[in-house]
Structure formats: C-alpha cells, structure tokens
Amino acid sequence: MKADPEAQRRLLDLQAIDTAIGQLEHRVKTLPEHALLVEKQARRQALGQELVAADTVLSDATNAQTRAEADLVPVRERLARDQKAVDSGTITDPKTLTSMVDEIAHLTTRISTLEDEELELMEAVEAAQAARDRLAAERGAVEDEMRALIASRDAAGKDLQADVADRQKARATVLADIPGALVDLYEKVRVRAGGTGAAALQGHRCAGCGLEATQSDYDRYISAPADDIVRCEECDRILVRADA
C-alpha cells in the first residue's frame, strides 16, 4: 500500500489521540470509586443481615418482657385480694388466717422474684434496642458514604467523558487528512496489536514493539520509497519513518 508521507505522519497524530482516548476510557472503568462501592455494598448487605438478626433479638426480648409483665398481674391481684381479706378482719378461723398470712408471704417472695426477672428482661430489651440502633446507624453511615462515592464517581466520569469527547473531535479533524484505506489498515492492525496500530521508527527502534530492526530490515525500511507503507518486521505495526 502507498500513501502520502504527510498522511503517514498524521497516522501518528491519530495514534496519539487513540492512545489518549484508550487511557481515558480505562480510567473511567477503573475509577477507585467502583471498587469502593462494591466494598461498601457488601458491607451494607452484611449490616442488613445483622439488622434482621438484631430485630429478631429485640422482638424476642420485648415478648419475654411482656410475658413477664403479664405473669405478674394475677400474682399481684391474688396478693391484693389476700391482703384485703386479712386486713378486713373477717377471717376468724385461726388456721385459715395462718395459711392466708403464709400465702401472703409466699406471694410477696414470688412477686419479688418475678420483678427481678422482669427487670433483667427490661435491661435485655434496652440492650437489644441499643444494638439494633447501632447497626441501623452504621448502615445509614455506609449508605451516606455510598451516595458520596456515587456522586464522586459520576463527577469524575463526566469529566473524563468530556475529555474523550474533545479528543473525538480532534480525531475527526486528523481523520480528514488520512486516506480511508490507510485508516482501515491502521484500525485492523490496532485491534490485532493491542491498541497501537502505527508507530514511529526512532533510530533503528520501532516505538510500537520497542525492538531494534536488524541492519538489513532497517536498510529496507529507509530505502523504501517515501510513499510506501512500511510494516515493522517484528510486530507488524505500520512503521512511520521520520522523513517519510
């Protein structure tokens, strides 16, 4: 293939723009926010599961406290009834009176025990509530961090995309200076060669693969007519000669 030497040199401008676009697109894909968001999302999910478990603990504790409260009601009522009967002075039979006083003592002890238990259960409810609140607050904080990361990712992405758009415009200008067939060849080689389709010959070295040409290859490169498209023997990229 042949092409005007100036068009060949423009190929290097095109390559520089394409390399820059590739780097910008890579930066969009590898913004640190992406990895951090994945991390935060995992943490948020874990906290969500912990929160479900904490809710269960809280609801169990609340139920136990309610049951303890309910258990106390009939015992207190019975004590009040007994106390009232004794205080009324209507029980005249000494045996009945003694057994009633015994029962009052027993009920009083029982109530004291139940109240102690209820107090412990109340403390358990408070502890469960506090644990639940801590988890909810932590999840809220993680969600705040995620919102900030999303905003920062989008802002950075927008800047980079704007940069890409600028370079696409410049690319269109450069493209106008290069014949379509040469652009097609460049694109084909670029896909095959990991993003670099055209490279300068710097001294004996191909800037694409970084290898030095053998003397005979080099001689062939520089003795080829200026409008010849020369390909690197090592990497097959389009080799643009400085004086091409």
In the complex, which residues of this chain contact Zn ion (CB under 5 A)? 206, 208-209, 232, 234-235
Query: Minimum distance from CB of 206 to Zn ion (Å)?
Result: 3
Closer to Zn ion by Cβ: residue 197 or 208: 208
Query: Minimum distance from CB of 145 to Zn ion (Å)?
Result: 47
Query: Minimum distance from CB of 152 to Zn ion (Å)?
Result: 40
Query: Minimum distance from CB of 233 to Zn ion (Å)?
Result: 8
Closer to Zn ion by Cβ: residue 11 or 58: 11
Residue 208: phi and psi, rounded to 5, are -75, -55
Closer to Zn ion by Cβ: residue 58 or 193: 193
Closer to Zn ion by Cβ: residue 78 or 205: 205
The three-point CA angle 237-215-4 to 5° equals: 45
Closer to Zn ion by Cβ: residue 128 or 213: 213
Query: Minimum distance from CB of 34 to Zn ion (Å)?
Result: 34
Proportion of the chain in helix, strand, coil states, percent, rounded to 5: 75, 5, 15
HSE (CB half, 13 Å, CA atoms) of 155? 6
User: Most distant CA pair in the chain: distance in Å?
Assistant: 137
Query: Minimum distance from CB of 238 to Zn ion (Å)?
Result: 10
Q: Give the span between the Cα atoms of 7 and 204, in whole angstroms.
A: 22
**Cβ–Cβ < 8 Å for 220, 180:** no
**Cβ–Cβ < 8 Å for 118, 65:** yes
User: What's the Rg (C-alpha) of the chain?
Assistant: 42
Range 156-186 burial, b when 16+ CB lie within 10 A, else e: ebeebeebbeebeeebeebeeebeeebbebb
